[in-house]
Amino acid sequence: MGHVVFIHGLGQSASSWQETIAYLCEYRNIYSPNLSAMLQHKEVTYQNLYASFTTYCKDLDEPLNLCGLSLGGVLALNYAIDYPKKVATLVLIGVQYNIPKMLLKLQNMVFKFVPKSFFENTGFEKKDFIQLTNTMTTLNFSKKLSDIMCYTMVVCGEKDHINKKASKKFS
């Protein structure tokens, strides 16, 4: 079966997957890394986060079964494209394959008005959120989706209008 890795989104932490993992108690190799801790005092950019995530995955036995939500899904998608032989299954929840620049700019404007206390339990500071999303504006995996060789499930909520269009295009 390999390892199962649950990757949280921005604004969440590894503990966000606790209830899900509790239902999978028959599996032993389940992991949920904390993304902010992966950076180990490096500059908070998508590129540094992805490099740290790649190192994390390389330390796990293959095949990997990756399940990511939002930012976690982008990391999982990126890894499945770059290392297609290492990923057995991929579950993407609320994920964009071509990051909408205007949406991130709007989100960052909102973040500027959100109190710092909102970010306390995420492991990232307010400035980190803004910097991380700014470094994601150039991400576009459109031309590389065909490089994914594993079984893939794309999940999008009925009311998630922002990600619904992208979810339909994955198929």
CATH of the domain at 142: 3.40.50.1820
Is 111 inside any structural domain? yes
**Percent above pLDDT 70 for the chain:** 99
For residue 76, give the amino acid letter: A
Structural domain count of the chain: 1
Is 167 inside any structural domain? no
| Over residues 103-112, mean pLDDT | 80
Is 28 inside any structural domain? yes
Q: How many CB atoms lie within 10 A of CB 125?
A: 14
* Predicted pLDDT of residue 1: 65
Is 145 inside any structural domain? yes
* Predicted pLDDT of residue 40: 86
Q: Which residue segment(s) compose the domain that 26 sits in?
A: 3-160
| Over residues 36-49, mean pLDDT | 94
Is 170 inside any structural domain? no
Does the structure show a pLDDT above 90 at 121?
A: no
Does the structure show a pLDDT above 90 at 161?
A: no
pTM of the model: 0.92
Residue 61: alpha-carbon gap to chain centroid:
20
Q: Phi and psi of 67, rounded to 5°? A: -130, 115
Is 141 inside any structural domain? yes
Is 169 inside any structural domain? no
Buried-state track 96-123, b at ≥16 Cβ within 10 A, e below 16: bbebeeeebeeebeebeeeeeeebeebb
Is 48 inside any structural domain? yes
